[in-house]
């Protein structure tokens, strides 16, 4: 059970502690932040509201710890990460329990998130050993005008302190996707978890504590992003920011100093369906892609762009599947569970009502109880409706009927987002042409968008992000290249 057994240390009465200098502490602020259970709409947990002074202390400790960590052999860093991964998997049940209570993740998916996170940490350790164990040797005589009298040795070195800020929807997985690469590369890591999901993240951090990482190397400060976020992201001690979330990331990018940024932001992933597609496959992927975790996934299908000639058939098949989805609490493993907050539910409702006023066809009756919204397919959506462009992050999906592939590509590229997209066709040549034309970080052919497997490159164009994720890219991003040039007194030629 959460906060008990090996996790008893992380709880102080009713409030979960924050993690600094290798120990669990109560904040001197005397204030806490409530985490409201999306299903019951009652306070489920409380976390510390950390102060700026506490953040300063964390940064000081991280700086000292990082220097020693960078001198720790790579194989030892990997060994500790493997240990943390095993502990994380061993304690999947209490962590998953937090995910169910804090973010209404269906119980089975909550367990999957923790196990996937353990696998991600192990893979990161292995990948780090492989790619950080290699450097480069360059010789000077390839550049015009040079003799071969300079040897350049380059390798990858850590950046310093990485600030990690994940979103609510995968608070464990999207935290370890930053923690693992940062640590294997020799950095210290400061985590600011999302408020909804903070307690799951604190349990996950405790697994790293139990693995025996040096004190100060990993810290976790809690508090509302709106209160403590700017202080963290503009802190002079931070050498890299890895952020996943919504528009907040755009604001952070404008405020952050001269540090590398990894931004994984929102999306409006389009699903383009051609006439020759396997329509059963299309319907299955629209339902899985659009409605899993109630549509609260960055890579959810968020708009269907379908050729008019096959639209009726696909809409009918999707509706038949939607009728079978189980709607209810996450504890019962329902397919559709309450969305994360009341304000999210209100936002989704706003998009739905705007579409209704402007004449969209509702394939189901719109139904909401508290934060629980029943799955809804909106047909005949037009570009003047907000839902054609905005990210609902809920179980409501617009269908726009198109008369040409070009029309679909045009809609996709007119979006300010460019995370992923997908195209369904049996013609691989057409699929490649469409993929090339779509301004999205990734295009899936004949499957719904997805983040993963976790070692695949993952990136957003335009307002969807900066840089590329995926295990290898994240490790590379959290390092910089350092060169040493050996200057010989006279040119030296191999076998010369
Ligand atoms: P969000 O509101 O942007 O919050 C993300 C994180 O930022 C949270 O930890 C939040 O903390 C923190 N935060 C808030 N204000 C801040 C500030 N001023 N400075 C620094 N941090 C601040 O996003 P969300 O609602 O959690 O997640 C949903 C969004 O994430 C969607 O747009 C989705 O598409 C996107 N997402 C993208 C990806 C991707 O890989 N591209 C993956 C998953 C989700 P608090 O919780 O305390 O406010």
Q: What is the pLDDT of residues 424-448, one digit of tens each?
A: 999 999 999 999 999 999 999 999 9
How many Å lie between the centroid of ligand 1 and the Cα of residue 166?
6
CA-proximal residue: ligand 1, atom 42 (nearest) = 298
Residue 357 among the catalytic residues: no
Annotated catalytic residue: which of 54, 264, 390, 391? 264
160 pocket-lining for ligand 1 (C-beta < 6 Å) = no
- 60: alpha, beta or left? (left if phi > 0; alpha if psi -120 to 50): alpha
What pLDDT does 338 receive?
98
Ligand 1 atom nearest the C-alpha of 249 is 3
Q: What is the largest CA-CA distance in the chain?
A: 82
Listed by start position, the domains of the chain span 5-265, 270-445
**Which of the listed residues 99, 246, 421 should we mutate to test ligand 1's pocket, taking the one with most ligand atoms within 8 A of CB?**
246
* d(C-alpha 256, C-alpha 374), whole Å: 39
**Which of the listed residues 102, 163, 166, 167 should we mutate to test ligand 1's pocket, taking the one with most ligand atoms within 8 A of CB?**
167
226 pocket-lining for ligand 1 (C-beta < 6 Å) = yes
What pLDDT does 495 receive?
82
Token output for 56: 């300063």
CA-proximal residue: ligand 1, atom 39 (nearest) = 264
What pLDDT does 496 receive?
73
Asked if 429 contacts 386 with a C-beta cutoff of 8 angstroms, the reply is no
- The residues that bridge with 381 in the sheet, in sequence order, are none
Which one is the CATH code of 270-445: 3.30.70.1020, 3.40.50.1970, 3.40.309.10, 3.40.50.300?
3.40.309.10
What pLDDT does 149 receive?
97
140-167: b (≥16 Cβ within 10 Å) or e:
beeeeeeebbbeeeeebebbbbbbbbbb
Token output for 127: 């990948």
229 pocket-lining for ligand 1 (C-beta < 6 Å) = yes
Query: Residue 486 belongs to what H/E stretch?
Result: strand 479-487
**Which of the listed residues 248, 252, 303, 415 should we mutate to test ligand 1's pocket, taking the one with most ligand atoms within 8 A of CB?**
248
468 pocket-lining for ligand 1 (C-beta < 6 Å) = no
How many Å lie between the centroid of ligand 1 and the Cα of residue 194?
7
102 pocket-lining for ligand 1 (C-beta < 6 Å) = no
What pLDDT does 271 receive?
98
Helix axes 107-132, 173-184, angle to 10 degrees: 20
Which one is the CATH code of 5-265: 3.40.50.300, 3.30.460.10, 3.40.605.10, 3.40.50.150?
3.40.605.10
Give first-to-last CA distance, the chain, whole Å.
70
- 97: alpha, beta or left? (left if phi > 0; alpha if psi -120 to 50): alpha
Q: What is the pLDDT along the chain (496 residues), one digit of tens a residue?
A: 999 999 999 999 999 999 999 999 999 999 999 999 999 999 999 999 999 999 999 999 999 999 999 999 999 999 999 999 999 999 999 999 999 999 999 999 999 999 999 999 999 999 999 999 999 999 999 999 999 999 999 999 999 999 999 999 999 999 999 999 999 999 999 999 999 999 999 999 999 999 999 999 999 999 999 999 999 999 999 999 999 999 999 999 999 999 999 999 999 999 999 999 999 999 999 999 999 999 999 999 999 999 999 999 999 999 999 999 999 999 999 999 999 999 999 999 999 999 999 999 999 999 999 999 999 999 999 999 999 999 999 999 999 999 999 999 999 999 999 999 999 999 999 999 999 999 999 999 999 999 989 999 999 999 999 999 999 999 999 999 999 999 999 999 878 7
Q: CATH topology of 5-265 equal to that of 270-445?
A: no
67 pocket-lining for ligand 1 (C-beta < 6 Å) = no
474 pocket-lining for ligand 1 (C-beta < 6 Å) = no
Q: Tokens 């002074």 — which residue?
A: 53
Q: Cα 147 to the chain's mean position, in Å?
A: 48
244 pocket-lining for ligand 1 (C-beta < 6 Å) = yes
């Amino acid at each position: 059970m959460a906060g008990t057994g090996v996790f008893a240390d992380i709880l102080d009465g009713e409030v979960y502690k924050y993690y600094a200098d290798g120990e669990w502490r109560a904040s001197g602020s005397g204030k806490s932040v409530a985490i409201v259970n999306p299903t019951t709409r009652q306070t489920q947990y409380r976390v510390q509201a950390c102060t700026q002074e506490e953040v300063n202390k964390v940064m000081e400790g991280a700086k000292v710890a990082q220097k020693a960590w960078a001198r720790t052999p790579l194989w030892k860093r990997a060994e500790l990460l493997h240990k943390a991964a095993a502990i994380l998997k061993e304690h999947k049940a209490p962590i998953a329990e937090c995910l169910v209570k804090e973010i209404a993740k269906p119980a089975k998916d909550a367990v999957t998130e923790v196990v996937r996170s353990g696998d991600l940490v192990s893979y990161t350790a292995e990948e780090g050993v492989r790619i950080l164990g290699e450097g480069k040797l360059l010789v000077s005589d390839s550049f015009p005008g040079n003799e071969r009298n300079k040897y350049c040795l380059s390798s990858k070195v850590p950046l310093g302190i990485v600030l990690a800020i994940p979103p609510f929807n995968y608070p464990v997985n999207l935290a370890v996707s930053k923690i693992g690469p940062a640590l294997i590369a020799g950095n210290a890591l400061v985590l600011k978890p999302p408020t909804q999901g903070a307690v799951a993240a604190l349990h996950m951090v405790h697994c790293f504590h139990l693995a025996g990482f040096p004190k100060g190397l990993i810290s976790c400060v809690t508090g509302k992003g709106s209160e403590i976020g700017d202080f963290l992201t503009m802190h002079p001690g931070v050498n890299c920011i890895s952020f996943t979330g919504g528009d907040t990331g755009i604001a952070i990018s404008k405020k952050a100093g001269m540090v590398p940024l990894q931004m994984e932001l929102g999306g409006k992933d389009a699903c383009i369906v051609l006439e020759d597609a396997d329509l059963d496959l299309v319907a299955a992927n629209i339902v899985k892609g659009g409605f899993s975790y109630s549509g609260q996934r960055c890579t959810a299908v968020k708009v269907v762009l379908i050729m008019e000639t096959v639209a009726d058939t696909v809409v009918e098949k999707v509706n038949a599947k939607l009728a079978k989805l189980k709607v209810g609490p996450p504890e019962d493993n329902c397919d559709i569970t309450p969305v994360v907050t009341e304000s999210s539910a209100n936002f989704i409702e706003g998009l739905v009502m705007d579409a209704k006023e402007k004449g969209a066809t509702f394939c189901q009756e719109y139904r909401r109880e508290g934060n629980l919204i029943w799955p809804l397919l909106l047909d005949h959506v037009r570009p003047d409706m907000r839902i054609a462009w905005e990210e609902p992050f809920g179980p409501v999906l617009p269908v726009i009927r198109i008369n040409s592939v070009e029309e679909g590509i045009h809609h996709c590229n007119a979006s300010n987002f460019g995370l992923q997209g997908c195209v369904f066709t049996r013609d691989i040549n057409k699929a490649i042409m469409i993929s090339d034309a779509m301004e999205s970080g990734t295009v899936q052919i004949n499957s719904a968008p997805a983040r993963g497997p976790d070692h695949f490159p993952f990136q957003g164009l335009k307002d969807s992000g900066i840089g590329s994720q995926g295990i290898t890219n994240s490790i590379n991003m959290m390092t910089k290249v350092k060169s040493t040039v050996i200057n010989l007194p006279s040119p030296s030629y191999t076998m010369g």
